[in-house]
Structure 1
Amino acid sequence: MPATLEGQITMEKTPSYWVTKSAPKRVYAMNPAVKLIAVVRDPVTRAISDYTQSASKRSGLPRFEDFVLLNTSAQWGGSWSIDASWPPVRLGIYARPYRRWLRRFPKSRLLLINGERLVADPAAEMARVQDFLGLKRVITDKHFYFNSTKGFPCLLKSESKAVPHCLGKTKGRNHPQINVSVIKRLREFYKPHNEKFYQLSGIHFRWP
């Protein structure tokens, strides 16, 4: 990584840092004054999105329901349970990694971005990011437009020259239809974990 000159901010993004157990200690050792940003979204939507990404790369992948249930032979509404060890499910239990980061960094250095709000109102969330980093609010609502094909907002590189930058091909895929009983069970599974996360962060994300 190039040296950061005076007046510059160096940014690096690696999503796996959030859940890597050794990351908080190593990042703190590197720079205890670093500022950290994490985007979190409804864990049920996140799990389905994770699965959809995998399914796009592996043809013939079993259904989402076959992975998420511990006993796939049980009838809907029977005595089946959610497989909390399956990565797409486990990664949505946000309180666990967040607690590890709080052992090294104060809340003032950890900015949590609402993933749903980032899609619905990207300018508002970007205003929070710019304030958090101590930057002038350069990016505003004039820099975004909604791409109906992808279902996500795209960034205009400047107000005067409308050159859009949209998410890549791996983003904006249609999610598969998931059995409503499984969705309900997932929401029940995540509810206590979400409540812990709300308490730790002091933010109520109002996930269903």
Structure 2
Amino acid sequence: MLWTVLLALLVLLLLQTQLSMCLKELRTGGSSLPAVSSSSSSPSSSSSSSSPYNTTQQRLPGAIIIGVRKGGTRALLEMLNLHADVEVARAEVHYFNVEEHYRRGLAWYRAQMPFTLPGQLTVEKTPGYFAAPQVPARVWDMNPAVRLLLIVRDPAERLVSDYTQVLHNRMTRHKPYQPLEELLLHKGHIDPSYKAVQRSLYHLHLARWLEVFPREQIHVVDGDALIRDPFPELRKAERFLDLPPRISPNNFYYNTTKGFYCLLSAGHDKCLDESKGRPHAPLSTQAFRKLCHYFRKPNKLFFEMVGRSFSWC
């Protein structure tokens, strides 16, 4: 009889404890259940604190537009940024080609990158990288698997555009600058020491990159074709970067006033800034022909290196 009473008391004690716990849960709104974020209805807007898989952070670039200067690097960057899986560094970082920046280390470089979700591709562009001898090995040390995009255009046209930008910058600061023909020619011949000429010798610079990176890791974009009809070049770039095809012809429209294509995304349009499409500085027909003749052999060497030719002068 005594054992029966003790057993009954034990059962009552257990029931009382369970009831107390249930009442506590009701009073606290069920706090013992997993918390549900108010933004959890949309995976893309989930709180970064709720799951490590949704955390945004600054990551080193998986792709770099390495050049060429005045070849269309800004246009290529903005067009790639139409892709939902791409985030771009807005400013040219000049990490690998400016010693002051390079000494700051990879932590500084990473801090210049945009915030991305896992699976998104970070892209940086600095056209000064292509012609700087020290850069290929430094990029390799950062990430041997990084993908490189090289956008090129007619080297003679690129040279005139290069000069035009420098001239504009000098005029803005009210500083004098020599006419292009004086810089370009020495005793009636092309002056190979002129830096704008050296930057257009694509084969010399690419040779340094190919000493470090395999050819299949460098994608060459036709800058002239990108301006004429952007979509085909963007589709090739998507494939090279292993991105799902998201950019379409509907992302572009031709602006007759500016004379080139502008971008459309989510109902908003964007045209490149006024420095793009700026009228070239004057250069005589005779001097331009000399320039085209000078680049004929270097261009041929470049065509052999990349396995394709371009319709250049």
TM-score, scaled relative to structure 2: 0.61
* Paired letter, 2:283: I
How far apart are residue 21 of structure 1 and its match?
0.6
Q: Structure 1 pair 149/55, CA: closer, same or farther in 2 (3 Å)?
A: farther
Aligned positions of 1:29-178 closer than 5 A: 29-59=141-171, 60-71=176-187, 80-158=188-266, 161=267, 163-178=268-283
* Paired letter, 2:193: S
Q: Runs ≥4 in structure 1, deviation > 6 angstroms?
A: none
- The structure number with the bigger radius of gyration is 2
* Paired letter, 1:205: F
Which position in structure 2 is the counterpart of 1:198?
303
Q: Is the 8 A contact 1:150 1:173 kept in 2?
A: no
After superposition, the C-alpha distances for 1:125-162 in whole angstroms (9 at most, x for unaligned) are: 0001111111111111111112223222111113xx1x
* Paired letter, 1:63: P
Q: In the alignment, does 2:122 pair up with 1:10?
A: yes
In 1, distance between residues paired with 2:209 and 2:117? 27
Aligned length: 197
- Say what the alpha-carbon RMSD is for the aligned residues: 1.4
Which position in structure 2 is the counterpart of 1:76?
none
* Paired letter, 1:144: F
In 1, distance between residues paired with 2:192 and 2:255? 34
Higher relative contact order by CA 8 Å / sep ≥ 6: 1 or 2?
1
After superposition, the C-alpha distances for 1:43-71 in whole angstroms (9 at most, x for unaligned) are: 01001101111111223422211110013
In 1, distance between residues paired with 2:134 and 2:284? 37
Gaps of 5+ in 2: 1-56, 60-115
* Paired letter, 1:125: E
Equivalent of residue 187 in structure 1, options 292, 297, 303: 292
Identity of aligned residues (%): 37
**SS of aligned partner of 1:116:** helix
How far apart are residue 5 of structure 1 and its match?
5.1
How far apart are residue 199 of structure 1 and its match?
0.6
